[in-house]
């Protein structure tokens, strides 16, 4: 799989990352190399194999739904880069 | 003070009054200070450890001490520890402090273990050399020009250089076992879901395991039996009862052991690593155990399967680092989208970005089936084939890493070269099986070599008993 500039930009947008001129070349080269390497899996016939989607031995063991104290406002906001007394602050979304 | 390797011995000496927890803590703190240049610790909790030691000493006198009294432990910088720093060695979590204790950490504290500090690692546990850390590399104490392995490099060195008795690390594709091998210590990755992942920062959720490092099996067994087991805060954790591992370290008289032919013929396996593995096999045979070569033709497909699935899971798990709720927010932003993009691009290191990009690619609509679903299918084949071997044998043995510790910077140019360091560890990770790495001699340059022992699901008890036996077999 060859990762060109267009595909790189598309994937980067989905991942909310960006690459400038100096880093884009290296990322394209690394991705192309690694994806070509993982395509080795195409040598295997997997037609009659079901995908393995969970590794847990027991599925969804849920605790009782009891009301308990949760993370306090103060603790939840403690690490925020920008906040006011009640909310996380982000740049304006709606004009 | 003589270096301790056994928690049993520490307990005896605490009981008899030969030592106190306060003295133990001072001993480790001095070693940490003397080995600062190894860069194993990101933060040392000096005063807190001293305070806890005092309290535990009182409890010991009163006879109310918990099961891990006397255990001084380090925790990898991926485990949540209330009101303590946590960054996964990444710039993107600058200044972050945990708002709660993860389950394993809580259980350590409740059992009267003393947490001495948090250890350096590869950023978000992605790497095999501990060179991908925002805080700089960790040095191998045996040869300071060489890496300690990764991603739990700081954890391995904290045990290697006697800066604590036990280290908690995390193992997604070998991140406890490979550094254990490079540093000459023991590293256990338990069965997937044996230890709760609540409070373990997520990298690849269907692979991630908390793992343990120490120089002695009894120390690992005693710690594992405290931190493993069911937990209200992890719906995927196993409900199976936890055996008293430390009470059951007596080996069987005869084992059936398999080794994989392809691992010994793998391209890139170092001759000395191979020779030591053969030596271990011969030693087992001469002690009356059955050891057979078996075929595992899927060996060549392990790493590809591992990297497709883990990058996919990582791209999803790491989407939470967006500069909104915690950690680093780029000052160069003008709207919401640029805040996300700039914060993430400036906050993450190169390897983490590479894996997020690969994961996003394999999960994108046009490529999902060709890469992601394909790898999930191969994962089933790998697990089934591996479990088939383990239905006929007690264990599979194989080298932990194809080489011994390499030099700093040696594999930094080509990501694929670095990925090959995980060739022998990912089989258990892809299959979810418990695996230990134990020291298996040294190469001509004096660098440690590791040997892995793999068993079927939830047979940690058997692995620990056998490891204890094999380590002491001369």
Q: Give the pLDDT confidence of B434-460 residue by residue, as tens digits.
A: 999 999 999 999 999 999 999 999 999
Q: Is the pLDDT of residue A24 over 90?
A: yes
Q: Could you give the 3-state DSSP secondary structure of residue A94?
A: coil
Q: Is A67 a domain residue?
A: no
User: For chain B, what percentages of helix, strand and coil (3-state, to nearest 5) are there?
Assistant: 45, 15, 40
Q: Quick check: B345 and A17 CB within 8 A? A: yes
Domain tally, chain A? 1
Pairwise CA distance, residues B441 & B272, whole Å: 10
- What percent of chain A shows pLDDT beyond 70? 100
Q: Quick check: A49 and B300 CB within 8 A? A: no
DSSP B234: -
Task: Judge whether B290 is closer than 8 Å to chain A, CB to CB.
Answer: no
- Residue in B closest to A74 by C-alpha: B99
- Could you tell me the two tokens for B300? 């060549």
Q: Quick check: B324 and A53 CB within 8 A? A: no
Q: Quick check: B235 and A61 CB within 8 A? A: yes
Query: Which phi and psi (to 5°) does residue B452 adopt?
Result: -95, 145
Q: Quick check: B315 and A51 CB within 8 A? A: no
Average pLDDT, chain B: 97
Pairwise CA distance, residues B384 & B433, whole Å: 11
**Of A90, A18, A9, A20, residue with least CA distance to B344:** A18
Pairwise CA distance, residues B427 & B386, whole Å: 8
Task: Judge whether B239 is closer than 8 Å to chain A, CB to CB.
Answer: yes
- Residue in B closest to A82 by C-alpha: B324
Residue B91: C-alpha distances to residues B133, B318, B362, B387 (Å): 9, 14, 26, 40
What pLDDT is attached to residue B1?
86
**Of B187, B246, B219, residue with least CA distance to B401:** B187
Q: Could you give the 3-state DSSP secondary structure of residue B425?
A: coil
Instruction: Please report the ipTM that was assigned to this predicted complex.
Output: 0.96
Q: In which domain, by residue range, is A31 found?
A: 5-41
What pLDDT is attached to residue B414?
82
Pairwise CA distance, residues B219 & B244, whole Å: 13
Q: Find all residues with CB under 8 Å of B217, minimum gap 6, and list them.
A: B186, B249, B464, B467, B468, B471
DSSP bridge partners of B437: B187, B452
**Cβ pair B45, B114 in contact under 8 A:** no
pTM of the model: 0.97
What pLDDT is attached to residue A27?
97
Task: Judge whether A80 is closer than 8 Å to chain B, CB to CB.
Answer: yes
Least CB-CB distance to B376: which of A16, A51, A80?
A51
What pLDDT is attached to residue B300?
95
Model confidence at B474, pLDDT cuts 50, 70, 90, reads low
Q: Is A75 a domain residue?
A: no
Q: Which residues of A touch B267 (CB under 8 A)?
A: none
What pLDDT is attached to residue A61?
83
Task: Judge whether B267 is closer than 8 Å to chain A, CB to CB.
Answer: no
Q: Could you give the 3-state DSSP secondary structure of residue B171?
A: strand
B62: number of Cβ within 10 Å: 8
- Could you tell me the two tokens for B190? 């338990």
- Residue in B closest to A83 by C-alpha: B325
Chain A contact probe: residue of B232, B304, B339 with most A CBs at under 10 A: B304
Model confidence at A85, pLDDT cuts 50, 70, 90, reads confident
Q: Which residues of A touch B308 (CB under 8 A)?
A: 38, 41
- Residue in A closest to B85 by C-alpha: A79
Closest-CA distance of chain B to residue A22, Å: 13
Q: Is A15 a domain residue?
A: yes
Q: Quick check: A17 and B341 CB within 8 A? A: yes
- Residue in A closest to B318 by C-alpha: A15
Q: Is the pLDDT of residue B32 over 90?
A: yes
User: Which residues of B are marked as active site?
Assistant: 76, 151, 175
Task: Give me the DSSP letters along B52-73.
Answer: HHHHHHHHHHHT---TTTT-EE
DSSP bridge partners of B399: B451
Task: Judge whether B335 is closer than 8 Å to chain A, CB to CB.
Answer: yes
Instruction: Give the 3-state secondary structure of B185-211.
Output: CEEEECCCCCECCCCECCCCCCCCEEE
Q: Quick check: B383 and A52 CB within 8 A? A: yes
What pLDDT is attached to residue A4?
96
Q: Is the pLDDT of residue B320 over 80?
A: yes
Least CB-CB distance to B301: which of A11, A44, A53?
A44
Q: Number of residue pairs across A and B with CB atoms under 8 Å?
A: 160
Mean pLDDT of B317-341: 95
| pLDDT per position as a tens digit, B70-109 | 999 999 999 999 999 999 999 999 999 999 999 999 999 9
Q: Quick check: B344 and A17 CB within 8 A? A: yes
| pLDDT per position as a tens digit, B257-311 | 999 999 999 988 999 999 999 999 999 999 999 999 999 999 999 999 999 999 9
Q: Is A83 a domain residue?
A: no
Q: Quick check: B376 and A52 CB within 8 A? A: yes
Model confidence at A58, pLDDT cuts 50, 70, 90, reads confident
Q: Is the pLDDT of residue B368 over 70?
A: yes
What pLDDT is attached to residue B336?
95
Task: Judge whether B238 is closer than 8 Å to chain A, CB to CB.
Answer: yes
CATH number of the domain residue A33 falls in = 1.10.20
User: For chain A, what percentages of helix, strand and coil (3-state, to nearest 5) are there?
Assistant: 40, 0, 60
Task: Judge whether A29 is closer than 8 Å to chain B, CB to CB.
Answer: no
Model confidence at B34, pLDDT cuts 50, 70, 90, reads very high
Model confidence at A57, pLDDT cuts 50, 70, 90, reads confident
Query: Which phi and psi (to 5°) does residue B395 adopt?
Result: -140, 155
Model confidence at B53, pLDDT cuts 50, 70, 90, reads very high
**Of A95, A34, A88, residue with least CA distance to B420:** A34
**Cβ pair B297, B386 in contact under 8 A:** no
Assigned architecture for domain B1-474: Alpha-Beta Complex (3.90)
Q: Which residues of A touch B428 (CB under 8 A)?
A: none
| pLDDT per position as a tens digit, B10-22 | 999 999 999 999 9
Q: Which segments of B100-216 does DSSP mark as H helices, in order?
A: 103-110, 153-160, 177-183
């Amino acid at each position: 799989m060859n990762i060109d500039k267009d595909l790189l930009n598309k994937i980067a947008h989905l991942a909310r990352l960006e690459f400038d001129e100096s880093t884009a070349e290296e990322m394209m080269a690394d991705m192309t190399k690694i994806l070509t390497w993982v395509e080795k899996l195409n040598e295997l016939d997997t037609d009659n194999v079901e995908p393995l989607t969970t590794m847990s031995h027991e599925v969804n063991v849920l605790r009782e739904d009891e009301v308990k104290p949760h993370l306090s406002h103060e603790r939840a906001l403690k690490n925020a880069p920008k906040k006011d007394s009640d909310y996380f602050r982000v740049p304006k979304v709606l004009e | 003070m003589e270096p301790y390797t056994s928690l049993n011995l520490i307990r005896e000496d605490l009981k008899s009054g030969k030592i106190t927890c306060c003295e133990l803590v001072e001993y480790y703190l001095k070693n940490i200070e003397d080995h600062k240049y190894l860069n194993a610790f990101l933060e040392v909790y000096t005063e807190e450890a001293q305070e806890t030691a005092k309290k535990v000493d009182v409890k010991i006198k009163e006879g109310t001490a918990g099961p891990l009294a006397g255990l001084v432990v380090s925790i990898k910088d991926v485990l949540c520890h209330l009101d303590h720093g946590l960054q996964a060695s990444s710039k993107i979590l600058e200044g972050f402090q945990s708002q709660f204790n993860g389950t394993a950490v809580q259980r350590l504290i409740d059992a009267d273990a003393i947490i001495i500090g948090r250890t350096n690692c590869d950023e978000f546990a992605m790497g095999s050399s501990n060179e991908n850390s925002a805080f700089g590399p960790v040095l191998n104490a045996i040869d300071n020009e060489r890496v300690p392995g990764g991603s739990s490099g700081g954890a391995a060195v904290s045990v290697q250089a006697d800066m604590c008795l036990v280290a908690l690390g995390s193992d997604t594709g070998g991140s406890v076992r490979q550094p254990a091998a490079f540093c000459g210590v023991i590293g256990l990755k338990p069965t997937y879901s044996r230890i709760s992942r609540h409070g373990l920062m997520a990298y690849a959720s269907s692979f991630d395991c908390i793992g343990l490092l120490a120089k002695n099996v009894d120390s690992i067994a005693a710690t594992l039996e405290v931190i493993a087991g069911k937990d209200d805060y992890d719906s995927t954790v196993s409900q199976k009862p936890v055996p008293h591992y430390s009470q059951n370290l007596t080996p069987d008289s005869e084992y059936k052991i398999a080794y994989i032919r392809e691992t010994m013929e793998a391209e890139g396996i170092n001759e000395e690593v191979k020779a030591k593995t053969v030596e271990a096999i011969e030693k087992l045979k001469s002690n009356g155990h059955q050891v057979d070569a078996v075929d595992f033709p899927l060996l060549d497909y392990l790493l590809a399967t591992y990297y497709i699935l883990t990058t996919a899971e990582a791209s999803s798990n790491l989407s939470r680092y967006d500069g909104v709720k915690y950690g680093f927010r780029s000052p160069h932003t003008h709207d919401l989208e640029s805040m996300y993009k700039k914060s993430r691009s400036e906050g993450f290191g190169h390897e983490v970005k590479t894996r997020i990009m690969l994961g996003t690619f394999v999960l994108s609509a046009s490529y999902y089936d060709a890469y992601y679903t394909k790898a999930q299918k191969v994962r089933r084949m790998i697990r089934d084939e591996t479990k088939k071997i383990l239905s006929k044998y007690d264990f599979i043995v194989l080298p932990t890493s194809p080489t011994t510790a390499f030099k700093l910077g040696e594999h930094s140019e080509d990501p694929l070269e670095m990925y090959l360091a995980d060739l022998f560890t990912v089989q258990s990770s892809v299959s979810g099986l418990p695996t230990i790495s134990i020291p298996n001699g040294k190469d001509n340059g004096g660098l440690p070599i590791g040997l892995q022992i793999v068993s079927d699901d939830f047979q940690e008890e058997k692995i620990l008993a056998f490891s204890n036996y094999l380590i002491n077999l001369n």
